[in-house]
Structure 1
Amino acid sequence: MVLTHLGANLDGWDPRILEGLSQDRRVIALGYRGVGESTGQVRDSIEEMAADAMGAIRGLGFDRIDLFGLSMGGMVAQAMAAKAPGSIDRLILASSGPAGGPGILAMTRVMVSTVLRAAVTFTDPRVLLFFTRTPAGRLAAREYIVRLRERRSMREKGVSPGVYRAQLAAVHRWGRQQPADLSVWSGPVWIVHGDSDRMVPPANAAALAGLLPAASVTMYPDSGHGAVFQHHSAFVAAARDFLRR
């Protein structure tokens, strides 16, 4: 199961990641309640999103799953591992951080200021939020946006301002909490981060690793919050290897 970032419907997933992971396993991309084509009231707490995801797992008839959470999705994945450790086999946490992690509270400010800057410069906000402004980062951003536009049919509804408000509130609350007791889950964990992430500072990778007994960490160079998008080929290859162990 894959859990996406704040302010995203399922169209925001890099198709190369979903295609790559699905080569040798079933991939379930879960839409958060009230986002895209998912019905219901959008959640404003990480724990509620985790409960929804656990309900989906049970509803689909699974006892155990592998879980990949990106950014806010990684926070949801942590809450799931803390509450239902027996339901998760392997865990991938990308560009995420623990409750109360370094700089998590600043995400709202960074996101709002960057979205405003994107509006006045007629730039897709994801270009500024997810990628560095180096030549490699700019190229990766352009290629990512092109990939997102490949599929023209069965597109989801856009994300409303209300979704952003609720999910920003959820992340802000997460930033004020004490870290969850993740020692209850001892399975394999792969933590992935970009070394220039402005939204969730890179120090969160080490903070997460300190809470998870079996964690390994990969720090991608010259990469921002969208490190897995910029390095999608390397990420998919390493993720498939990790999930086969």
Structure 2
Amino acid sequence: MPQLDVDGAALTYDDEGPRDGGGVPLVFLHGWTANRRRWDHQVAHFAEKRRVVRLDLRGHGDSGGSGVRTIAELATDVLAVLDHLKIERFVLVGHSMGGMISQTIALAHPERVDRMVLVSSISRMTYSRGRGLLMAASTLVPFKLFVATNIQRAFAPGYPREEIREYVRTSADTPREVVMTLYGAMRSFDVLDRLGEIRTPTLLVHGYHDIQLPVTQMLRMAKAYPDAVVRILDAGHELPVEKPAELTAALDGFVTDRP
């Protein structure tokens, strides 16, 4: 389990698959309160034929550190790991908050991003007045209840309750400071008006039943991308684990078939 010290935080990462051939390396970025294991199905598939990197973001999973305030700071951590591994050009695959990090990197370093896949992610959070009040009020409840409520809402109806409870437990293990600060960072994240700058071929994959980041918000984002492909799956917000095979197939087609 290799680690890299970045600005006082030991960041844990996996670097798997063949180094030669197989195409540009894939970089998987997980979402808020999750960890790199969310990508187990996808990594097992792609690491057979190409280089794959995934990491636990600062304060998540097996990575240390706290004090992060913005999505841009997380993007800096990701680039530090990739620089350490001497990976100059890559395909970004980001889920939810990981997709926000991916967009941040694509805007700052377009020359390094070969392609990008945004899974259950958006470029600007927008709320109705009622939902905005509800989200603001949710931060006033006890921390574990706040986490549990948000994670339970991430899954489509019918997903096994025992598995949801395990994801809730994992998320609640994330330090409170990290959880709450990055919750605020996601709510303030907004690059929608800059999407026209991103010329990187992009795949947008979203769950039809996603109530965390509704599909209507993703479609608004899709209109702004100069070169985007859209796939909508019958799932909620947690596509990597709700529909692992379907997501992997969508990724495989996009990163394999495009020049």
TM-score norm. by structure 2 comes to: 0.74
Q: 1:45·1:173 contact (CA, 8 Å) conserved in 2?
A: no
Matched residue type, 2:181: A
Question: Is residue 2:185 matched to residue 1:170?
Answer: yes
Taking the aligned partners of 2:177 and 2:188, their CA distance within structure 1 comes to 17
C-alpha distance in structure 1 between counterparts of 2:96 and 2:150, whole Å: 13
Partners of 2:48 and 2:193 in 1: CA distance: 33
Task: Give the conservation status (yes or no) of the 8 Å contact 2:97–2:121.
Answer: yes
Structure whose residues are more often strand by fraction? 2
1:129 match: 153
**1:68 paired residue among 93, 102, 105:** 93
Where structure 2 has 5 or more consecutive residues not aligned to the other structure, the ranges are: 1-26
Matched, 1:225 2:251: no
**2:56 aligns with one of 31, 41, 57:** 31
Describe how 1:206-225 pairs up with structure 2 within 5 A: 206-221=219-234, 223-225=235-237
SS at match of 2:231: strand
Q: Judge conservation of contact 2:204–2:229 (CA < 8 Å) in 1.
A: yes
Three-state SS of the structure 1 residue aligned to 2:206 is: strand
Q: 1:172-195 deviations in whole A, cap 9, x for unaligned?
A: 221xx4525233331211101111
Letter in 2 for 1:7: T
| Cα pair distance change 1:67/1:119, threshold 3 Å | same
Is residue 19 of structure 2 the alignment partner of residue 7 of structure 1?
no
Aligned counterparts of 1:126 and 1:26: Cα–Cα separation in 2 = 33
Is there any run of 5+ residues in structure 1 with no aligned partner, and where? Answer: 149-154
Give identity over the alignment, percent.
Answer: 25
Name the structure, 1 or 2, with higher relative contact order (CA <8 Å, separation 6+). Answer: 1
For each residue in 1:10-47, what CA deviation from the matched residue of structure 2 results, as whole angstroms up to 9, or x when unmatched? 34x14223212323222211222233332333412111
CA distance in 2, matches of 1:25, 1:128: 34
1:153-212 alpha-carbon deviations (Å, 9 max, x no partner): xx9x931111111111211221xx452523333121110111121111111221221222
**Does the alignment pair 1:138 with 2:159?**
yes
Query: In structure 1, what is the Cα distance between the partners aligned to 2:122 and 2:240?
Result: 15
Q: CA deviation at 1:106?
A: 4.4
Give secondary structure in 2 for the equivalent of 1:41. Answer: coil
CA distance in 2, matches of 1:67, 1:228: 15
Q: CA deviation at 1:143?
A: 6.1
SS in 1 for 2:182: helix
* 1:191 alignment partner AA: L
Backbone CA RMSD of aligned residues: 3.3
Change in CA separation of 1:127 and 1:55 when aligned onto 2, cut-off 3 Å: closer
Q: Distance in 2 between matches of 1:82 and 1:108?
A: 32
Q: Of 39, 47, 54, which residue of structure 1 is paired with 2:72? A: 47
